[in-house]
Amino acid sequence: MTHVAVLGAGVVGVTTAWYLRQAGFEVTVIERESQAAMQTSFANGGQISVSHATPWANPATPLKALKWLFKEDAPLLFRLRSDKAQLRWTMQFLQECTAQRADANLVQMVHLGLYSRAALQSLRAEIGIDYEQQTRGIMHFYTSQAEFNAAIAPTERMQELGCERYVIDINTAVDLEPALYPIAHQLVGATYTSKDESGNAHLFTQRLAKQCQQAGVRFLFDTEIVALNLDQAAPTSGSCQSHIHSLTIRPNGEDSQTFSADSYVLALGSYSVALAKPLGINLPIFPAKGYSATYQVNPKAPHLAPFVSMIDDEFKLVMSRLGDKLRVAGTAEFNGFNLALNPVRCEAITHRIKQLFPRGIIADSVDYWTGLRPMTPSNVPLIGRAHRGYIKHGSTNPQASFDNLWLNSGHGTLGWTHSCGSAKALSLLMQGQRPKVDFDFVGVE
């Protein structure tokens, strides 16, 4: 039985382990935390949002980012740093901001999103996993006429691609989500995607990890991955592929040791970059610090907090009802690997939610969190076989590929949305099959 080591136990890593195990692989998951989903998957916005596929890199973003440059509470904030990696990533991001590139990237994300949402629904039906899921759809609502106008073209484009996102009037929006009634006079429009979903990504990942263990997946928690070790022997005759012979790991802070498997999947999000770099692999992933705030729903007026998952496009916030709590997440701060909570950005979230649903939540109950979303310049994740040099979706380099190193990283703000589809597709690629999704996988001719 082929043994695969999955590096990382976030939602992408654990779903990868599940699909590989279901395909008959022996699987070991290696994670530096003591449990699954304790980093970027811990307290995200909770949405399975095919409809949230408009890339951050689009023609409107550079001017907005310039205006927001010195605003601490800006939805998108680039910290000016003497960081070559950030500068290089920013230049690549700007290259993706053309209308042509933005449309191409939107197509990629909608295709993967539809495939992934279907995979999640099948998995849920198969194993009966519960994770505070809501299947009430996702609504984008607008209090800015300019933002609403800008949403029309992407909405129509998504419809062409098979995503059932439609413009709805304000009365329909309020009928779908009565919690909007008190602010109906502020709304200028909305869109609605009935088949999108929401749920608790942390709970999903932890419960799926238990299912993985019951199915025979081994987890090595509290284990730091120090290095990927390249086989220094010459490639076999007729082959140009490089080979990873082992990992250097450090379990529980002990001395380093070697761990070997037949194949390796890099699913470490923003931390994938440093591990891949010594092998000559250039992953264009940079951490975007996202924030979330979790509020207790007011038990005296639970109907005044939304049940339908929402997106406030003007403020770049998403909202999901998780049991008796409301999770609000969003914004992106490009500030390296800094995980410190910025009180100004935290308070900006609460200020906006108090404007929208003042009686639906208990504002003083808030629990703030921040995590590092692994962003590619295009917003499209990197899924497939690794190769040396610069990697982007669809890139190949047969003369410098790896025969046993695979990538599942760079999912940005849509890791939860794309996790099941990415994992299912990668498991098929590793079996020599082509997934039934029109997506530009890495290292695939």
- Structure confidence at residue 65 as a pLDDT band (50, 70, 90): confident
pLDDT at 237: 44
Specify the DSSP class assigned to residue 177: -
CA–CA separation, 395 vs 377, rounded Å?
A: 14
pLDDT tens track for 97-149: 999 999 999 999 999 999 999 999 999 999 999 999 999 999 999 999 999 99
pLDDT at 337: 94
Q: Please give the full DSSP string across 185-207, using - where no structure is assigned.
A: GG--EEEEETT-EE--HHHHHHH
Q: Domain 53-99+132-196+286-375: what homologous superfamily?
A: D-Amino Acid Oxidase, subunit A, domain 2 (3.30.9.10)
User: Does 404 score more than 80 pLDDT?
Assistant: yes
pLDDT at 233: 62
Q: Do domains 3-42+203-283+377-430 and 53-99+132-196+286-375 have the same CATH topology?
A: no
Lowest mean pLDDT among 85-94, 155-164, 184-193: 85-94
pLDDT tens track for 26-43: 999 999 999 999 999 999
Residue found under tokens 């005296």: 300
pLDDT tens track for 181-204: 999 999 999 999 999 999 999 999
Residue found under tokens 């919690």: 179
The helix/strand/coil state of 307 is coil
- Number of neighbouring beta carbons within 10 Å of residue 186: 14
For the chain, the distance separating the N- and C-terminal CA atoms, rounded to the nearest angstrom, is 26
Percent above pLDDT 90 for the chain: 90
User: Does 208 score more than 50 pLDDT?
Assistant: yes
pLDDT tens track for 373-394: 999 999 999 999 999 999 999 9
User: Does 69 score more than 80 pLDDT?
Assistant: no
CATH level 3 topology of 3-42+203-283+377-430: FAD/NAD(P)-binding domain (3.50.50)
The domain segmentation of the chain, as residue ranges, is 3-42+203-283+377-430, 53-99+132-196+286-375
CA–CA separation, 409 vs 413, rounded Å?
A: 12
Helix and strand totals (H; E) in the chain: 10, 22
